[in-house]
Amino acid sequence: MKAKHLIEKAEEIRVREHKLKLSLRLRTREGVYRFIHDEGLVSFLGGNELPSFISAILGRSWKPSAKGFTGWMDWWSVKISGQPVAQISREVEGREDILATRLFRRTKTFVSSRIWPILDPVVKHHRGLVQKGEILSDLEQQLLKTIGGESSIRTDRLRKKLELDGKENNSRFHRALNNLETYALIIGVEDPHPETHLHANIWQTWETRTRSGIDRTGPSYEKALAKLLEKTIDACVLAREDQVRKWFQWSADMEAIKEELLRDEAFLRAGLYLVSSRVRDVNN
């Protein structure tokens, strides 16, 4: 199949699978859950290669823009099973079989439990690098250690324990949390009972959050990276190859693996793009 035809077919499949037509949009919470599990990895806002939760409920491509909150009004009033999108999003990230992290392009990404066994060896590998002092700042290491010492801990308590209450600490505190999320070392979920602390997250380590959903005897780090890359491209359907290095904190480790997967036709190269191997096998 020629590159042009392969790309065109991939674009057709992407519209259908990512729900980018009004007739295909997600209308029920059960549909939302099924969508995330079918895709494996789903970006919350969108504007990147992954399927997007917001785009799928609108039935068209949506991405954050310079319009700021005005742009959010495109979807803020949409209802899913009679509930606001924000409520459904909180329900999604609070489920036992879905979690939210920032592993893809440092943006909020829903991860189905079927991806957890693939991601677990990657998290373990980076845990080892933390213990050796090869990654993370001192503050990030302190945060990880403090969260690991609790079954769960809310943001305000976490700041208090580390004596980072003052506004002058806001930026570096949240930047450190975000960086830990990009490695999936910690997982946050919005507190469903915030009392006076509005929009406070409850934090857990990866191991605590996923303990009942993974067989810990998983593949090696390299095999896990290969499977993760294959699953990500499968979810994207179509992606520019030069963007892959920007996807994950550990993308540099994937370059040689990417070439090996291309040789094995786990996914395909079509001009400037990488395409899911499923596209080749679709006849309709």
Mind listing the pLDDT tens digit for each residue in 95-141?
999 999 999 999 999 999 999 999 999 999 999 999 999 999 999 99
Mean pLDDT of the chain, nearest integer? 92
Q: What is the CATH number that goes with domain 118-210?
A: 1.10.10.10
On whether the CB atoms of residues 48 and 243 are closer than 8 A, the answer is no
On whether the CB atoms of residues 44 and 110 are closer than 8 A, the answer is yes
Q: What is the pLDDT of residue 211?
A: 85
Q: What is the pLDDT of residue 105?
A: 97
Query: Taking the model in full, what pTM does it have?
Result: 0.93
Helix (H) or strand (E) holding 239: strand 238-240
Q: What is the pLDDT of residue 200?
A: 85
pLDDT bucket at 213, cuts 50 / 70 / 90: low
Looking at the chain, the domain(s) classified CATH 1.10.10.10 span 118-210
Find, among 44, 38, 113, the residue nearest to 85 by Cα: 44
Find, among 209, 9, 28, 229, the residue nearest to 101 by Cα: 209
pLDDT bucket at 44, cuts 50 / 70 / 90: very high
pLDDT bucket at 215, cuts 50 / 70 / 90: low
Mind listing the pLDDT tens digit for each residue in 191-210?
877 666 556 899 999 999 99
Mind listing the pLDDT tens digit for each residue in 51-84?
999 999 999 999 887 555 556 677 888 899 999 9
What gap in Å lies between CA 232 and CA 215, rounded to an integer? 21
Instruction: Look at the block and give the residue holding tokens 């992407």.
Output: 14
